[in-house]
């Protein structure tokens, strides 16, 4: 098992920054886009950075397998034997990368005994990095400034400080669908942001109360957020209000989910999944 310490975290941060530099290089060029079997886009940047991360992590940690979004066809039978592994998304927010919104990131997470325990989310164009490690805290680095993220707690009858529920979504077109699962007439305000991991950063910082995703994502999209939210009193749950799982199913596709900033709130009274 890899020791969870600052040295390990700094090694992973350095790799993430190097991967981000590669993404910046691709971002300045014209790149070819292909459509994968699941109807999502993939670019040469995704594939190059996937290989780069896999080679870097394998060179440093030869005993620890690497599972990438772009190379994830490993049967459960084989994966189940892994005590720990690196779970990576070389380019979270490929569509945002293609659309030049700047809202994309590199994701590297260490998963141990089916639980994410260390993560780095690095958005190179925004000069923004979130990182967290179990029992160490969660941090935001913006440019050269680093701050530790506080625990998100509300004392107002375990409900919202603000009477308006602030919800992060990936697109304005998602808003009506999200409204349909909320408590009737609940006042809410939507914040649109690309890249699943960057939305999780908004939740961890308490800028929004929650992030709702009703479409498909992979375990690599949410693993980093699990560590970030675990260190800031947040959580992620599925439509049954159960936690997401990692490396326990044949598929690596997540169910719909909600990420919340403060797990002490009674979210079962706010969301109406049916």
pLDDT tens string 217-247 = 999 999 999 999 999 999 999 999 999 999 9
Q: Is 94 annotated as a binding residue?
A: yes
CA 138 to each of CA 43, 213, 265: distance values in angstroms, whole numbers, following the listed order: 31, 22, 21
Q: What would the mean pLDDT of 195-213 be, rounded to a whole number?
A: 96
- Residue 241 CA to residue 247 CA, distance in Å, equals 19
Q: What would the mean pLDDT of 84-100 be, rounded to a whole number?
A: 96
Q: What would the mean pLDDT of 182-203 be, rounded to a whole number?
A: 94
Q: Is 32 annotated as a binding residue?
A: no
pLDDT score, position 162: 61
What's the pTM value of the predicted model, to 2 decimals?
Answer: 0.95
pLDDT tens string 111-151 = 999 999 999 999 999 999 999 999 999 999 999 999 999 99
Q: What would the mean pLDDT of 147-171 be, rounded to a whole number?
A: 78
* String of DSSP letters for 91-103: EETHHHHHHT-S-
Q: What would the mean pLDDT of 173-196 be, rounded to a whole number?
A: 93
Average pLDDT, the chain: 94
Pick the more confident residue, 179 or 37.
179
User: What domains can you pick out in the chain, each with its CATH number?
Assistant: 6-148 (3.30.540.10), 165-269 (3.40.190.80)
Q: Is 221 annotated as a binding residue?
A: yes
- Residue 16 CA to residue 78 CA, distance in Å, equals 27
| Location of structure tokens 């999209």 | 221
Report the candidate in 46, 32, 36 with the shortest Cα–Cα distance to residue 91. Answer: 46
Is residue 149 within a helix (H) or strand (E), and if so which, with residue range?
A: none
pLDDT beyond 60 at 156: no
Spatial CB neighbours of 51, under 8 Å, sequence gap ≥ 6: none
Q: DSSP class of residue 232? A: T
Q: Is 89 annotated as a binding residue?
A: yes
Report helix angle 219-230 to 196-205, nearest 10: 10
pLDDT score, position 52: 98
Q: Is 92 annotated as a binding residue?
A: yes
- Residue 63 CA to residue 57 CA, distance in Å, equals 10
pLDDT tens string 22-53 = 999 999 999 889 998 878 899 999 999 999 99
pLDDT score, position 232: 98
Q: Is 231 annotated as a binding residue?
A: no
């Amino acid at each position: 098992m890899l020791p969870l310490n600052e040295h390990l975290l700094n090694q992973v941060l350095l790799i993430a920054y190097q991967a981000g530099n590669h993404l910046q290089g691709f971002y300045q060029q014209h790149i070819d886009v292909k459509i994968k079997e699941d109807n999502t886009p993939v670019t040469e940047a995704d594939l190059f950075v996937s290989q780069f991360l896999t080679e870097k992590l394998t060179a440093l940690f030869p005993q620890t397998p690497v599972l990438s979004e772009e190379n994830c066809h490993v049967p459960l039978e084989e994966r189940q034997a892994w005590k720990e592994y690196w779970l990576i998304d070389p380019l979270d927010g490929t569509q945002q990368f293609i659309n030049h919104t700047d809202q994309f990131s590199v994701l590297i997470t260490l998963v141990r005994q089916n639980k994410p325990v260390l993560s780095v989310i690095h958005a190179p164009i925004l000069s923004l990095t979130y990182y967290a490690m179990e029992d160490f805290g969660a941090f935001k680095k913006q440019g050269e400034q680093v701050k530790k993220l506080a625990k998100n707690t509300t004392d107002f009858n375990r409900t919202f400080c603000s009477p308006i529920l602030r919800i992060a979504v990936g697109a304005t077109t998602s808003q009506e669908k999200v409204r349909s699962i909320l408590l009737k007439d609940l006042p809410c305000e939507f914040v649109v942001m690309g890249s699943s991991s960057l939305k999780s950063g908004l939740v961890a910082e308490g800028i929004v109360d929650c992030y709702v995703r009703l479409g498909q994502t992979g375990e690599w999209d949410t693993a980093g957020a699990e560590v970030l939210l675990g260190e800031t009193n947040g959580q992620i749950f599925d439509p049954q209000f159960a936690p997401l799982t990692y490396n326990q199913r044949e598929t690596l596709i997540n169910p719909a989910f909600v990420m919340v900033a403060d797990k002490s709130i009674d979210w079962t009274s706010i969301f109406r999944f049916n």
